[in-house]
Structure 1
């Protein structure tokens, strides 16, 4: 099942796909641009992975790490489908990161790899923007790079885990103004989903609603104010986001 959370007519609704339109839980059918899209679930702790595709690590001239590179993100970084992300003036290189987002369904502590998928509630798409100008180096993301207000787009749909036949065989694509710029497949994850759950739950308790952003493949290019960025993952939908300049945010 695919479902979303949207705001419409002064209330928050659960919604499902209805062809090219959206059906609200009360039966009304609306065009997607009539709605304000929220993250499709209430995110808890957001755990993000860096350099979790070998081709992307190579793209950044970084050798394989001995254990996953992980960092946390705050809830203020999250916006929904059709949202707008600020591109600060004066930066040289800001790029998208199309990622599979794994949503935890029940408390996970000390989970073994063989049992890990039992703790997954479902999946969504993430576009986790980065500004390379602000990096201390390519393998230690800092707060200004990865914890920016509105810099992590989630959605549009939450898809139940049972409806994804093989989470390690999903193609990812990113289009900038209609041009395909990034393509990859989750089969190329350095640390796959069970490995990540085993690793993380070995030192922290994962709670329902926690999200693991699994990293992005190669193919990142600079994006500018006014650009439309579309991230697609097989079976999970199409996540649309637009970049805007400082002036649109009163800065």
Structure 2
């Protein structure tokens, strides 16, 4: 009888309403989805279609955690983001089907080894080692889409040690959540358990051990992360 050679980890979860837990299977991320952030990264905003990278589900950590400063970088950046949680299957969906597939929203941090991302970009190599770092996908609990309301006027902000570094509104998104889900469903069978980080506003920057990151989006739980010493 076949047996597994080793125990495999369970899917990580984030809290939802009440005592419910949302198991996370995949994490998709949208790049440069705020015009000012695209420009601060040295690129012109692309309004034609979003583009994506991915993080391992095992990189997920809950808001309030302390994580070690990661290896291999001297320029570790925060990115504050609205996160979409998929709650129904959708493949090649239209706008209505994409909207109905969204279960809810949360706050997320896309932590990034910026020096490694930039070095690989310059060589036209993938971003994985810069973006898919361990402990780099930070998440709050989820709020149902019906409770959160229409995307647009909500403020999105982030502070480091109490100093505001990012401050914008969700209306600044180039590609809003429904458009992202509709587009992404052309390439993947999206399903419950998929999270989509929708991009970050301008103002990204480095953190160091001992720094405390806090952020928020109107109508969602605030997020917090402490950077611990390097291992």
TM bin, normalised by shorter chain, reads 0.7 to 0.9
TM-score where L is the length of structure 2: 0.85
Q: Secondary structure, in 3 states, of the residue corresponding to 1:134? A: helix
Partner residue, 1:242: 226
Distance 1:68 1:15, change over 3 A: closer
Residues 1:188 and 2:169 aligned together = no
Residue segments in structure 2 that go unaligned for 5+ positions in a row: 1-13
- Partners of 2:34 and 2:158 lie apart in 1 by 15
Q: Secondary structure, in 3 states, of the residue corresponding to 1:182? A: strand
RMSD of aligned C-alpha atoms?
2.1
Residues 1:115 and 2:93 aligned together = no
Partner residue, 2:67: 85
Q: Secondary structure, in 3 states, of the residue corresponding to 1:237? A: coil
Specify which of 160, 168, 184 is matched with residue 200 of structure 1: 184
Residue segments in structure 1 that go unaligned for 5+ positions in a row: 6-13, 17-24, 26-38
Spell out, residue by residue over 1:136-174, the C-alpha distance to the aligned partner (whole angstroms, 9 max, x if none).
Answer: 12797622211111111001x210110012123221110
Give the structure with the larger strand fraction: 1
Partner residue, 1:222: 206
**Alpha-carbon shift at residue 89 of structure 1 (Å):** 5.9
Residues 90, 97 of structure 2: 8 Å contact kept: no
- Partners of 1:112 and 1:15 lie apart in 2 by 27
Q: Which has the higher contact order (CA 8 A, sep 6+)?
A: 2
- Partners of 1:40 and 1:175 lie apart in 2 by 28
Spell out, residue by residue over 1:12-66, the C-alpha distance to the aligned partner (whole angstroms, 9 max, x if none).
Answer: xx885xxxxxxxx5xxxxxxxxxxxxx9621121110110111100111101334
- Partners of 1:212 and 1:146 lie apart in 2 by 14
- Partners of 2:96 and 2:148 lie apart in 1 by 18
Residues 1:125 and 2:107 aligned together = yes
Q: Secondary structure, in 3 states, of the residue corresponding to 2:53? A: strand
* Aligned residue-pair number: 214
- Partners of 2:87 and 2:152 lie apart in 1 by 19
1:54-73 mapped onto 2 (5 Å cutoff): 54-65=35-46, 66-73=48-55
- Partners of 1:43 and 1:100 lie apart in 2 by 16
TM-score where L is the length of structure 1: 0.79
Residues 1:172 and 2:153 aligned together = no
Partner residue, 1:161: 145
